[in-house]
Structure 1
Amino acid sequence: MKNIFDKSVTEEVIGRIEKLSPKTQPNWGKMSAAQMLAHCAVTYEMVFTDKHAKPNAFVKFMLKAFVKKAVVGTKPYPKNSRTAPQFIISDEKEFLVEKKRLIDYINKTQELGENYFDGKESLSFGKLTKEEWNIMFYKHLDHHLTQFGA
Structure 2
Amino acid sequence: MVTPAKLEQGSREWFEMVGTVVCRALNRAAPRDVVDWTLVERYADGRPMPDGLIQGIRFDIRDGRATFRVGAGPDERGDATIEVTVAAARALNLLHSDDPRFDSAREDAVETGAMRVEGDLSPIATALVETHDYIVDRTA
TM norm structure 2: 0.26
- Which one has the bigger strand percentage? 2
Relative to its length, the structure with more helix (as a share) is 1
- Structure scoring higher RCO (CA < 8 A, sep ≥ 6) equals 1
